[in-house]
Structures are given as C-alpha cells and as structure tokens.
Amino acid sequence: MNFKEAISSHIFTLISKASSELGLETYVIGGFVRDYLLDRHTSKDIDIVTIGDGIALAEEVSRLLPHQPKVQVFKTYGTAMLRTKELEIEFVGARKESYSEGSRNPKVSTGTLEDDQKRRDFTINALALSLNTENYGALLDPFDGISDLKKGILKTPLDPNKTYSDDPLRMMRAIRFATQLGFTIESNSLNAIAENHERLQIITKERIIDELHKIIASDKPSTGFKLLENTKLLPQILPELIALKGVDEVEGQTHKDNFYHTLEVVDNICLTTDDLWLRWAALLHDIGKAPTKKYDKKVGWTFHAHEFVGSKMVYRLFKRLKMPLNNKMKFVQKMVLLSSRPIVLASDVTDSAVRRLIFDAGDDIDSLMLLCEADITTKNAKKFKRYHKNFELVREKIKEVEERDRIRNFQPPISGELIMETFNLKPCREIGMIKEAIKEAILEGKIANDYDESYQFMLTKGKELGFILN
Ligand code: CTP
C-alpha cells in the first residue's frame, strides 16, 4: 500500500530531503498515521523515527526550514522536537527498549524500524509510512495494524502482559482509545489490563488525569468508565465513584444504582456541552450520596445534604489527583453544591426562589440548568417528558426574572461607605447587617433591585437599629 498523498505536504518532503542528505532511513509513525487512515484530522503532532540519530535529523530539518526553528533536545530520551506554525514534530532514533519492574522509563538501545514498532503500544499505533526516496509513502505494517484499524480493534504488538507491565500508562491509553475511537479492546488485552491493574500505581497522577480528561472529553465517556471499572483501574483513581455502585434494599425499598446513573448523566451532558469541567461536574454531582446514604423507616432512602458533602469531597479529590485547585475546581464544587436546586424549583417556581438561584449560580446558571437536565435519566417516558417540561418553565422563569431584576451579576446597590456616611458611623458589624438585609429584601422581592428603593430601605433599617441620620 502506498500513501503518498498522506505525506505529500512540504514538511514531509523536507524531512525526506534532510534524511537523505544525512544518509538516513526515516519514517512517519504513530498517531499521525493512525489518524490519517481513520480520516481524523485532529493530529497536530507528528512522530518521526529514523534509523540513526534523531537529534541530528531534527537539526538538519530545522536548517532547511526558512525560519530555522529552535530544536529542543531531550538528551535523556535521545529525542528532539521542533515546532512550525501549526505542527509539533518529534524526532527519535529507532530503538529497542527493556524495562525494569519499578519504572516506566526503559533502558534504551539502538534498533531497527521493526524493533521500534514492536516497542509501541498498539498495532494501530505502530503503522509507519516511509519518507525514503525509493519507496516514499509505502506503509510498513509488520503487525497488520491496518486490519485492526479497519475492524476497530486495539491489540498490542507483543504479549499484552509485557506491553502493559512495561508501561502501565498504556492500560489507560487502551481504554481512552477505545472510548475516543469506539474501538474494542481485544480480549487477551483486556484480561492483561485487569491482571496488571495494580501496576497503575507507578504512573504519575498527572498522566492518569490526562487520559481521564480525554475519556471525559469523548462523545460517550460511559464506555471508558465501564472499562475502567471492569478492569479494576477505577477504584485506584476514583474510589468515590465506585462507592456509588450497587442497590441496597431495606423493607422492600430500593434506591437507584448511582454509579450507572452518574454515567448516564455524563453521557447526557456530552450531548449539550463540550465544557470539560461541566462534564467533570456531571461525573461528581452525586459523590456525596455514598457517605450520606441512610434508610429512614418513614421516608425510605435518603441522601441528606449530599450536595454539600459532595462539594466538600471535590476539593480532596482534586488535591489527591493533583488537579488544579483553581477556578475550575471551584466551578465543579459550585455545580455539585447547587445540583439539586433547579429540581426543587421545578415543582414550585416562585419568583423569590428563582432570584435566589440566579444569585447563587450567577453566570453559571446556564451550565447548572444543563446539568439538571442531563440528570433526568428516568426510563418512564411520561415522567421524562414532564421533568423536561418543568425545566423549560424554570428556564422561562429565570429569563423573565433576570430581565426584570438583573440578579445574575448582583452588585449591592448601597455601599458600606454610604451607610457609614448616612448614619455617621465608624466601621462596625451593623453595616454588614444592613447590607445583608437589603440583599435579602431584594431577593425576597420586597424591594426592587435599584438604588432608590434600597436607599429608603436602608433608612428604615438604620432607624430600627437606633441610628440617627447624619
Ligand atoms: N506510544 C507508546 N506508548 C505510550 C505512549 C506512546 O507506544 N505510552 C507510542 C505510540 O506509537 C504512539 C506514539 O508513541 O502512537 C505517540 O504517542 P502520543 O503522541 O502520546 O500519542 P498518539 O498515539 O499520537 O495519540 P494522541 O495524540 O491521541 O495521544
């Protein structure tokens, strides 16, 4: 097979030229080839393997490029990288690898193209296209990756036990590719992942999370989470989700399986948003249900304050997984905390409750509504329709109230300074009390969200507290 058109662009002909000038044999390999053949044009990274010195090749390519980009050399790995406007190109000399137990960093020695293909994770990632003049564009595929690509199968070139044990990150990659591409992990491979699941411990949290993000960013993350669960990887990453698994029964009363419910919610929200953090919020929205689950003889199963408990758990979870403890985390916490509020509203939509919701959610109100709609997983068609209809009403009410009262980016209409000036006060607790009372009165609809009504209200409140006008 010849894939000349795949590598007809300027950059490949230039790499080919540099390679023949140095008397090397060079190939494009890995993700670029895979994605080209799958017609997925997402790859901005190109991996180049050469039989010889990858660093020297990178330097020669840079020399031939008009802007002569800087070559970044990673001596320890014997690799080099350069960036053009759109691409990141990595160069490596073909190598053999041997691994030791406690590390995913192999001992490396020089090797042939086939040695290099053997050391790769999946047959579909071991496909190489020649950049050599004599067979430019030829596909080199010793493990029949092309037929795995056609059949949608993830298979390792070597014994899967070895491939996964050598570099356990590949277990995550297998599941990520299966989720992203809708591929099936070949059964020996799947068993090997389950067998080697404990090896995940040698992988840094950051790398695990990178893969998890990619699973969550895919069209149907539940595929990945079910695989992570079946292979025993999930308890090592997110035990909070595993704790949601199962259905208990007391006095004939059951509750839903909150693990599978959560996965449905995540799949649902992927239909309406690409926002990675809102997807994370969907994944974590019920984690507080495991620690708060109780059976009450009168009301059945309860998960009292699970939203509050869940939002507290988010911080510990992010910290443990070395995820950023920044605004993204705060957003996830906020979504988890507020996740039941619109549901409560759906049965009793009062203006003041809507104002409070808009006040608490602020600019994230639309994300919150998406989360709540995704949370509808009932299989009862009538209920499904009714719940969605209720949320439509909530949305309309939000729009109406927001247009009238502008609560979304609430700014206190009366400042602390003005209160001090009006009553000739020094800083004291009562100023905060008056400000809070004004806010409450606005949210309750007793006064409008404007200066004049708030000013009058402040005068009344001040008098009640015994303050005298300046
Ligand atoms: N590779 C591997 N084992 C790993 C990581 C990478 O064998 N743990 C090999 C695979 O051949 C892979 C290539 O290195 O195709 C490039 O890796 P990388 O850029 O991380 O992934 P891609 O396969 O390009 O896919 P993606 O960009 O979606 O991560």
Domains (range + CATH), the chain: 4-150 (3.30.460.10), 152-237 (1.10.110.30), 416-464 (no CATH)
- What gap in Å lies between CA 326 and CA 4, rounded to an integer? 47
Residue 14 has pLDDT above 90, yes or no: yes
Question: For the segment 287-317, what is each residue's pLDDT rounded down to a tens digit?
Answer: 999 999 999 998 899 999 999 999 999 999 9
Cα–Cα distance for residue pair 65/248, rounded to 1 Å = 65
State the distance from the centre of ligand 1 to the C-alpha of 30, rounded, in angstroms.
6
- Name the residue with the closest Cα to ligand 1, atom 14: 30
**Separation CA 128–CA 31 (nearest Å):** 10
pLDDT at 7 over 90: no
What is the CB < 6 Å shell around ligand 1?
A: 30-31, 45, 47, 120-121, 125, 167, 169-170, 173
Q: What is the mean pLDDT of residues 68-88?
A: 92
* Whole-Å CA distances, 368 to 93, 162, 277, 313, 444: 50, 45, 12, 19, 22
Q: Other CB atoms closer than 10 Å to residue 247's CB: what's the count?
A: 12
The residue to which tokens 């591929």 are assigned: 183
Q: How far is CA 213 from the centre of its chain?
A: 3
CA distance 213 to 372: 22
Confidence band for 349, pLDDT divided at 50, 70 and 90: confident
pLDDT reported for residue 309: 98
Q: What is the mean pLDDT of the chain?
A: 94
Q: What is the pLDDT of residue 345?
A: 80
Q: Which residue's CA lies nearest to atom 21 of ligand 1? A: 31
Structure tokens at 371: 């989360």
Main-chain dihedrals φ then ψ at residue 374, nearest 5 degrees:
-65, -25
Percent of the chain whose predicted confidence (pLDDT) is above 70: 100
CB atoms within 10 A of CB 291: 15
Helix then strand then coil, % of the chain, to nearest 5 = 55, 10, 30
Contact 70, 81 (CB under 8 A): no
Among 37, 43, 47, 104, which residue has the most ligand 1 atoms within 8 Å of its CB, making it the best to mutate? 47
pLDDT digits over 32-59, tens only? 999 999 999 777 899 999 999 999 999 9
**Rounded to 5 degrees, what are φ and ψ at 96?**
-105, 150
Spacing of C-alpha 211 from chain mean position: 9
| 29, 120, 169, 179: residue to mutate for ligand 1 pocket, most atoms within 8 A of CB | 120
Q: How many helices (H) and strands (E) does the chain have?
A: 24, 15
Ligand 1 mean position to 258 CA, how many Å? 34
Q: Whose CA is nearest to atom 15 of ligand 1?
A: 30
H/E segment holding residue 445 = none
Q: How far is the CA of 120 from the centre of ligand 1 (A)?
A: 8
Tokens of 188: 């020996």
Helix 221-230 to helix 205-216 angle, to the nearest 10 degrees? 130
pLDDT above 80 for 98: no
- Classify 175 as helix, strand or coil: helix
Q: How many residues does the chain have?
A: 470
461 CB neighbour count, 10 Å cutoff: 20
Q: Say how many C-beta atoms besides its own lie within 10 A of residue 235's C-beta.
A: 15
Count of other CB atoms within 10 angstroms of residue 337: 21
pLDDT, tens only, 53-68:
999 999 999 999 999 9
pLDDT (0 to 100) of residue 4:
87
Residue nearest to atom 22 of ligand 1 (CA): 31
Sorted by sequence, the CB contacts under 8 Å of residue 351 that are 6+ apart come out as 397, 401, 445
